[in-house]
């Protein structure tokens, strides 16, 4: 299938929080629509308008710059900002709420996507079959290429950090996240090549769908296999860090592994498989319209790569 693309206005992301607003408290919650702007930049503009430190502006997750995205931000009410006077290019205030606590990373339940992809597609029957497979079986849970920066610039940042260069706090965080994401993708890619990314193997760490809960499986019985097929549990891969031995396939990345351990970055796990929620599609000559939702930490580009894959 040939590469097909979506224009920014046809790539819409809608964030869904995992809690209800209290209706009062010291934080304004702003439902923002942004176009052509990244989340951190918008947070800094809101901080400037409210005359508060940028670190005190909260958001649940980073959203794609090359899309129309709707997401929540929290801003302290210390200076009683007039949000009706907010004037930032590419930013529109859609709704204002009140809540007692700052919005924290990962506080959203899911992101919903509406995407129109245009270009040459493969045979409609093959595409329908591929989409149905994605709807019922999920896709490999790769970190998207945007995690690694334009032209891989964040990889260079991770190398600089691992070599001992002192970085500002936010760049250090990006470097660590980039290194762990790259290493995870290597682990996942090995399972994809052996066709086991969607199967639980003896000795695997297993992730419970929709949660951060993991457990080990020594032997795969019928019930474990059934739950895996039903997308209730998934095989999980290592997010490298201190305290857990890394697989041999990462031996050529010792500089990152040693830096992560030295920085006491806690090792964790991430599902190798991504469940695509409520996937619906409409296919017309020259275009494909998609509607679906993903849990937090997932990348829509991981879904799109499977649709446009020629393999």
Residue in 71, 130, 85, 141 with CA at minimum distance from that of residue 301: 141
Q: Per the structure block, which two tokens stand in for 264? A: 């006491």
Helix or strand (DSSP H, E) at 116: strand 108-118
Q: Are 64 and 94 in contact (CB under 8 A)?
A: no
- Determine whether 64 is an active site residue: yes
Helix or strand (DSSP H, E) at 239: strand 233-239
Region of 74 (left: φ > 0; alpha: ψ -120 to 50; beta: rest) is beta
Which are the contacts of 235, defined by CB distance < 8 A and separation ≥ 6? 191, 196, 197, 198, 199, 200, 201, 204, 205, 206, 207, 228, 271, 272, 273
CA 22 to chain centre: 27
Q: Per the structure block, which two tokens stand in for 251? A: 């031996």
Cα–Cα distance for residue pair 290/272, rounded to 1 Å:
23
Q: Which of 24, 56, 64, 278 is the catalytic position?
A: 64
Give the SS3 label for residue 253. Answer: helix
Number of helices (H) and strands (E) in the chain: give both, helices first. 7, 14
Q: Are 287 and 7 in contact (CB under 8 A)?
A: no
Task: Supply the residues annotated as catalytic.
Answer: 64
């Amino acid at each position: 299938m040939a590469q097909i693309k979506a224009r920014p206005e046809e790539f819409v992301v809608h964030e869904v929080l995992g809690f209800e607003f209290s209706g009062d408290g010291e934080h304004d919650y702003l439902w923002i629509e942004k176009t052509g702007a990244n989340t951190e930049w918008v947070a800094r503009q809101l901080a400037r308008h409210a005359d508060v430190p940028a670190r005190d502006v909260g958001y649940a997750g980073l959203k794609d710059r090359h899309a129309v995205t709707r997401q929540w931000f929290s801003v302290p009410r210390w200076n009683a900002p007039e949000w009706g006077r907010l004037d930032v290019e590419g930013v529109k205030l859609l709704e204002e709420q009140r809540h007692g606590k700052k919005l924290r990373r990962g506080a959203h339940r899911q992101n919903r996507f509406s995407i129109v992809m245009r270009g040459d597609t493969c045979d409609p029957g093959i595409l329908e079959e591929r989409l149905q497979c994605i709807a019922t079986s999920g896709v490999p849970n790769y970190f998207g290429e945007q995690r690694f920066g334009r032209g891989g610039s964040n990889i260079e940042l991770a190398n600089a950090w691992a070599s001992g260069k002192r970085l500002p706090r936010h760049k250090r965080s990006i470097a660590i996240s980039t290194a762990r994401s790259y290493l995870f993708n290597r682990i996942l890619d090995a399972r994809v090549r052996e066709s086991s990314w969607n199967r639980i193997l003896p000795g695997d760490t297993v992730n419970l769908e929709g949660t951060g809960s993991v457990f080990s499986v020594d032997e795969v019985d019928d019930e474990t296999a059934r739950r895996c097929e039903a997308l209730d549990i998934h095989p999980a891969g290592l997010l490298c860090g201190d305290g857990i031995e890394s697989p041999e396939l990462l031996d050529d990345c010792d500089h990152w592994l040693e830096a992560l351990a030295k920085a006491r970055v806690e090792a964790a796990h991430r599902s190798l498989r991504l469940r695509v929620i409520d996937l619906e599609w409409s296919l017309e000559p020259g275009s494909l319209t998609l509607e679906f939702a993903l849990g937090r930490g997932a990348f829509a580009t991981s879904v799109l790569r499977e649709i446009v894959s020629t393999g």
